[in-house]
Amino acid sequence: MDKDDRYMRALAICTLGNKYLHLVKNIFEENIKGGQTTSIVYNYVPTVQKMNEDTKWFFQIIIIPTLFSFYHGIELTMKGLLTLLPEYNPKTTHSLTNLLQDFKNNYQMQEEIINILEKYIVVEQMPPYLKNWFLKHKNNIDDYYDFLKYPFDAKFVKSYDYFDLKYDLDDENKGINLSESILADVKSFLPKTVELYRSIK
């Protein structure tokens, strides 16, 4: 792969990752406006359309697909930035832990970017609400492409339980706190990774 081809591939991968992360930012901005609301009481029988409109940004509605988009966005961003490196051999993998290690090995000076990546890939460093869900259900972050995309494993043996991720049973706004955490980090991550790409190109 020559230099121009490498840059074009890296740009395509990073651009798509950027779009996923912008989607995540936009969704969480709307989600946070409504707070940790889980239900609405009507004094009439609402239509399905009315209920869908009123609940479309509720945390329990958006969190699973938005988490998938978030993780897919950071996966693509790491792959894109690694593709820029002439000595790097691109890998067809969804393993976030392997990509993170490769990123750390090649971009040791990018501490701020690495810190954000580790915060959501290393289970022990995750925000408590997310960390507790991963630990309780023994989810492996490298399998995010399965458990955030499908309700069952490939053999339809294991079902994935999202209830206590979607609903803050302690009623302490932990879900919205997670939304705010990811939103703040995406807002920081996006310009830093764009700046890194441009500095290498």
Domain segments of the chain as ranges: 3-200
pLDDT at 168 (0 to 100): 78
Are the C-beta atoms of 1 and 84 separated by less than 8 Å?
Answer: no
Task: Using pLDDT thresholds of 50, 70 and 90, give the confidence band for residue 3.
Answer: confident
Instruction: Tell me the C-alpha distance between 157 and 66, whole Å.
Output: 25
Per-residue pLDDT at 50: 93
> For the segment 130-189, what is each residue's pLDDT rounded down to a tens digit?
999 999 999 999 999 999 999 998 888 889 999 989 987 776 788 999 999 999 999 999
- What per-residue confidence (pLDDT) applies to 155? 87
The pLDDT of residue 92 is above 90: no
Q: Please determine, for residue 4, whether its predicted confidence score (pLDDT) is greater than 90.
A: no
The DSSP 8-state label assigned to residue 154 in this structure reads T
Give the per-residue pLDDT at 1: 67
State residue 143's pLDDT score.
93
Q: How confident is the model at residue 201 (pLDDT cuts 50, 70, 90)?
A: low
Residues sharing a CB contact under 8 Å with residue 59, sequence separation 6 or more, in sequence order: 31, 36, 37, 38, 166, 168, 175, 176, 179
Average pLDDT value for the chain: 92
Q: What is the pLDDT of residue 171?
A: 66
